[in-house]
Amino acid sequence: MKTILSLTCLALALSPLASAHCPTHQIADAQSQAAAEKKDVLLVFLGGDWDPVSKKVQADVLSTEEFKKKAAEHFVTHVMEFAKSPKDTDKALLTLREKYQVNGLPAIIQVDPQGRPYGFAGLRNQKTADLLSSLKSNVETREKRDAAFKKGKKAKGLERAKAIVEGLELLPQFILLDFYSPELAMIAEADPKGETGLVARVEKADKLDQEQKRYQLLFKEEKLDEVVALSKKESAKLKGEDAQRVSMFGIQALASQKKYDEAKKAIDAMAKLDPETAFGKSAERYKGVVDRIKARSERPAPKPRQAAKPKKDDKKKASGPIVSKPVAVVTDINKLREEGKKIATESQKATALAQKAVQTKKEADQEIALLSKKLKTLQEGKAERDAAAEKAQEEAAKLASKSKMMSEVIENHEAMEKRKREISDLEKKAAALQKQAEELRKQASEIKKSN
């Protein structure tokens, strides 16, 4: 298969063989190029000619002019092609696949120039326009992440932690510990009391993941006695839901060993640790599963159908071995064993789902507790705030009344001053008129005397 997308630092398309020579260095080159061009990196994980889905994705989406043109505007694209068998694949490629937790092919991951993933887009049954829309949406998420981180760097104390948490909560939690440890460290430093809760959730999730992998490895190696012993030892150190979760591994191992009565007793003991948890409430259902497994394993094998005796004339025509009873019985037992393994696998998956549900519930409970605490604080201060508001309203009313009275006093005073000025003016006019009258009387008197 020819690689049709631009690869890392090379301007021309390379063959898969060439792209596999130094994948780690090529990704580093892609990141450097992305930083220089102010773009992100698009990591594409594909199967080779052996994988029909990868071939279809390559032909119908990745090789289209629309995709290549639009992707080049925002990304430096790096394609990695994997052989069918890990033995035939470059170890560096396998390391990269493990690093970015790529479980199935094909896959596409968006990373920033520092190599930190922020977007995961589906490739199966995706049309070009839909894929480009998903990539764009993820870029918008990265922009929000960067804005929150920038805000956090400018802030201090708890506000810094909250801002960084705001950015990290936009991302899948399973990538935080591997790719965002500096940000988690900043949160821990800015929020020593753990009020934001994110660091604790990430650490808890990582412990659960490591625990799950440890037990899965023991189951895979069929070390069931070790599973039972380790489960008892570890659950004894824990309490409540955590102890129940670990106990379930031992219960699965007992059921796989056909120790059904012991498994049911272990379920009862597990439920008594805390009857109100999801594990405790599911105890009867778990015992029902054990009973069904036991019934299947103890069910007698069906009798094989006996072949009709051949007629004398047909003896020469008969060919091939006749299936005997022992062979049929063995075949049925093998089927039961396979069915038992399938049920055990399903049980493990159900337990994993239950663990995730419990973790989700716990995270929700923590969030509710924080909100309840805030609500309680607000409620406790309500009476004080109401009293302050009432007092402020009374004070405002008093001041308004005083202001009105003062306005009236000022108006009265101004009116009195005006009247005083008017009286003074009248008095002056009256005095002037009186003086004029005196002068007229004098003139009249002099006129009389002259006559």
Domain ranges of the chain: 16-155, 200-302+327-361, 409-443
Q: What is the pTM of this model?
A: 0.58
Q: What rounded mean pLDDT belongs to the chain? A: 82
Q: Average pLDDT of 361-388? A: 69
* Among 96-100, 164-168, 337-341, the least confident range: 337-341
Percent of the chain with pLDDT over 90: 54
Asked if 246 contacts 210 with a C-beta cutoff of 8 angstroms, the reply is: no
At residue 189, does pLDDT exceed 70? yes
At residue 116, does pLDDT exceed 70? yes
pLDDT tier at 330, thresholds 50, 70, 90 = very low
* Among 145-154, 189-198, 285-294, 306-315, the least confident range: 306-315
Write the pLDDT tens digit of every residue in 68-81: 999 999 999 999 99
Q: Average pLDDT of 148-177? A: 96
**CA gap 200, 56 in Å, rounded:** 42
- Pick 9 or 304 by higher pLDDT: 304
SS3 annotation, the chain = CCCCCCCCCCCCCCCHHHHCCCHHHHHHHHHHHHHHHCCEEEEEEEECCCCHHHHHHHHHHHCCHHHHHHHHHHEEEEEEEECCCHHHCCHHHHHHHHHCCCCCCCEEEEECCCCCEEEEECCCCCCHHHHHHHHHHHHHHHHHHHHHHHHHHHCCHHHHHHHHHHHHCCCCHHHHHHHCHHHHHHHHHHCCCCCCCHHHHHHHHHHHHHHHHHHHHHHHCCCHHHHHHHHHHHHHCCCHHHHHHHHHHHHHHHHHCCCHHHHHHHHHHHHHHCCCCHHHHCHHHHHHHHHHHHHHHHCCCCCCCCCCCCCHHHCCCCCCCCCCHHHHHHHHHHHHHHHHHHHHHHHHHHHHHHHHHHHHHHHHHHHHHHHHHHHHHHHHCHHHHHHHHHHHHHHHHHHHHHHHHHHHHHHHHHHHHHHHHHHHHHHHHHHHHHHHHHHHHHHHHHHHHHC
pLDDT tier at 6, thresholds 50, 70, 90 = very low
CATH class, 16-155 region? alpha beta
Asked if 8 contacts 29 with a C-beta cutoff of 8 angstroms, the reply is: yes
- Pick 133 or 392 by higher pLDDT: 133
Phi-psi region of 323 (alpha: psi -120 to 50; beta: other; left: phi over 0): beta
pLDDT tier at 122, thresholds 50, 70, 90 = confident
Specify the pLDDT at position 384: 74
Highest mean pLDDT among 97-101, 159-163, 342-346, 409-413: 159-163
Q: Average pLDDT of 280-300? A: 90
At residue 316, does pLDDT exceed 70? no
Contacts of 160 (CB under 8 A, 6+ apart): 152, 153, 186, 190
Q: Is the dihedral of CA 320, 322, 327, 329 positive or negative?
A: positive
Write the pLDDT tens digit of every residue in 166-186: 999 999 999 999 999 999 999
Q: Average pLDDT of 18-33? A: 76
* Among 11-20, 211-220, 403-412, the least confident range: 11-20
Write the pLDDT tens digit of every residue in 8-23: 333 333 333 334 446 7
pLDDT tier at 1, thresholds 50, 70, 90 = very low
